[in-house]
Structures are given as C-alpha cells and as structure tokens.
Amino acid sequence: MQGIAEFEAVVAAANLPGAVALITDSKEKRYAKAFGMADAVNGVPMREDTLFQIASMTKALTSVAVLQLVERGKLDLDAPVGTILPELAEPQVLEGFDEAGAAILRPARTDVTLRHLLLHTSGCAYTFMNADLLRHAMAAGKMAGGKRASLDLPLMFDPGTGWQYGTGIDWAGLAVEAVTGMTLGEWFEREITGPLGMTRTGFRATWDPGEAQVHVREADFGFKTQGMVLGGGEYHNGGGGLSSTAGDYARFLRMILRGGELDGVRVLSPEMARLAREDALPPHLSAGEMTTAMPSLATAFDPLPGQRGGWTLGGFLVNTETGPAGRAPGSLHWAGIFNCYYWIDTDRDLAGVILAQIAPFADAAVLDTFAALERMACANA
C-alpha cells in the first residue's frame, strides 16, 4: 500500500499515548497496525486486538438493532414511542429559566417517535454539550452516570424541528429491550455481533488494566490516566456503552459496505441496509456540528465545515459534498468520545477506523492522524 511511511510519520509526530489504525474494503483488511501504548503510564504496549471503549460508535449497532425490529414488525419508526417508553409519553421542552433560576418547561407540541430518536431530531440532548440542560440536570440531581433516571430530562426543542446530538439512541436501545424482553447486549449477541463474528465486542462493567486506558495530556507532553468505564450502570447504554477492537469493528463496517451481509450471514435486508446508509434528515436541517458545556470531556467540533451534514437511520453522519480528507459525497462516518473515529466510503468500497483513548474529544492530533489514514486509503483506492 502506497503512503504507509507518510501516514506513520504523522502518527509519530502526533504524540499520542497509543492507537490502532485499520483500513478495510468489503472483502478483507488492507492495512492494520498498533502504535504506542495502551497504558502510557504503566508501559502496557498497544496490540492490534487491544480493547477500546468505543463510546458513540455503539450508536450504529443500536440503530441496526432498531431497523431489524422495524422489519420484523416489532417497532414502528413513526408511532409515538411513549407507548413503549412511558418516560417519553408526555415530554416537556426546556424553554429557559425564570428570574429565580427555576426551569421554564412546557409540554412538547408533537410526540417523540423512533425516527426522531435515531436521527437526533427528538430534542434529546447531552448535558456535556448543552449548557442549559446541564444547568437543569445539576439542579434536578440527574447527573449520575449509568442511571436510567439520568436520561429523564426535558427536550431542547419540539420533536422534528431541529437537530441536536444527544441521548436519543440511548432511548432507542431501551425500546429494543422493551419489545424483545432481552438486554441490548443479549440482542446484539444473538442478532448482530454474534452472527458477524465480533467476538470481543460487548458491554463491560469493569475494565482490565491490560486494555486501552483513557489518557489526559499533561503540560510536559506526558500523560496521566483516568478511570472511566462507560459500559456499566443500570442499563446497556445503546448510545455509548460498547467496547470493541479495531478488527471487530471492521467486520461491522464491512457488513455495511456489503449492504447488510458478511461471510454469507445477513443481519440487515437489502432494503433496511439501504435505509441504514441513506440520508434521512429533512433537507432544511444539518447534522454534525457539536458544542460543548464540559471542555474537559469534549471540545467543540464541526466534522464537516462549510457543508450540510446528513444523518441516516443507521446512526451515521453523511457528508453531502466531498469530505475534508477526500471521502466521496454520501460517505458515512462517526466517532466515540475518547477519540475513536471511522468512515465508510461506499463509492470507493473502503472503510477505515482509528481507535485512541484520550480526553477531551476532538483531540487535534488524533484528528490529524485520522485524516492522514483516510488520505492514504483514498490514494490506494
């Protein structure tokens, strides 16, 4: 593969604790390599099969689970989701705060649907990205991570009227559990990760010290680690609770490239695979740009500067023009909060993933490395 030396020079200059990079097409891996340390403090080397907390890369699997159940008639994209999730039956919208600092709430004008949840048009938001919601959640005592009650927050706008990245796919995962009688992890194992041979992918409440640790940069260009585990808690977090490896996630990406099938096993019908890949966001809305209310956790980030971003029912951001590093219009991509990133370029039959574990999100060095990986892949298409 051309450009390997140039790509690996970018990695060397990035001062990352460690990372795993992988490029695949619809048939096989084209490139895979581990760099640096899984734990830079204790000197644990990175391996190609090191486990990472992939966080919001979970959203695509949860969205696929929903589409499977839509096809089987167990879920309806456009019915009020409050019939199966009572917490969303009578949602409130946060309009601001009065002079005493109390939240001003009003009933939402429309019902929340699964389509809204999957497309991030429900009004559900993340506290770490929205200062008003953070203020309300802190006042209401709903900041406990991993608790289902922490999701029970007001909407930031009426369903269908805006786009804001948030907890919608957490709720969609709970809808999967409600209609199947299974945990989300059990459904994944039976219908997605098991059939696809993703043997290392799952929800983990504890974290092995030999796997990738979450790092924070220090002023002397060194690192410290911090214990953060997203996979535990009261429920399986369909918005961000999975851990996985680069090789495992590449099997999921390959399935998407192949239209819902891998190695003779079909997890999505051709029609549902099309829905998973097709921009379903109303054209007057744009997806992708993210703000921050907790800069230590996530930096403000616009993955598609200067262009409209679409969003699919499969949990993917869509670039509507050529991407910043060369991906074709209609390509799919997203990320995880500890600086894990992937893209799927169906026109070129290419996908790539880079996994790191460093906070805050949108680390400039990891983004540079991700862009370099994509450029290398495109040059060899």
Catalytic residues: 56, 59, 165
State the DSSP code for 127.
T
Specify the 3-state DSSP secondary structure of 181. coil
Asked whether the beta carbons of 287 and 309 are under 8 A apart, the reply is yes
Angle CA 107–113–116, to nearest 5: 95
- Give the tokens for residue 183: 């945990």
Cα(50)–Cα(209) distance, rounded to whole angstroms? 11
The strand pairing partners of 65, in sequence order, are none
Cα(66)–Cα(82) distance, rounded to whole angstroms? 16
- Give the tokens for residue 35: 């760099």
Residues 6+ apart with CB under 8 A from 259: 268, 270, 273, 274
Cis ω for the linkage preceding 360 (within 30 of 0)? yes
Residues 6+ apart with CB under 8 A from 28: none
- Of 197, 210, 122, the C-alpha closest to 167 is 122
CA distances from 315 to 12, 17, 89, 115, 318 (A): 32, 29, 23, 11, 10
Which helix or strand (DSSP H or E) is residue 22 part of? strand 18-24
- Give the tokens for residue 137: 């959640």
Asked whether the beta carbons of 164 and 125 are under 8 A apart, the reply is yes
Cα(115)–Cα(121) distance, rounded to whole angstroms? 8
- Give the tokens for residue 103: 């939240």
Cα(216)–Cα(267) distance, rounded to whole angstroms? 38
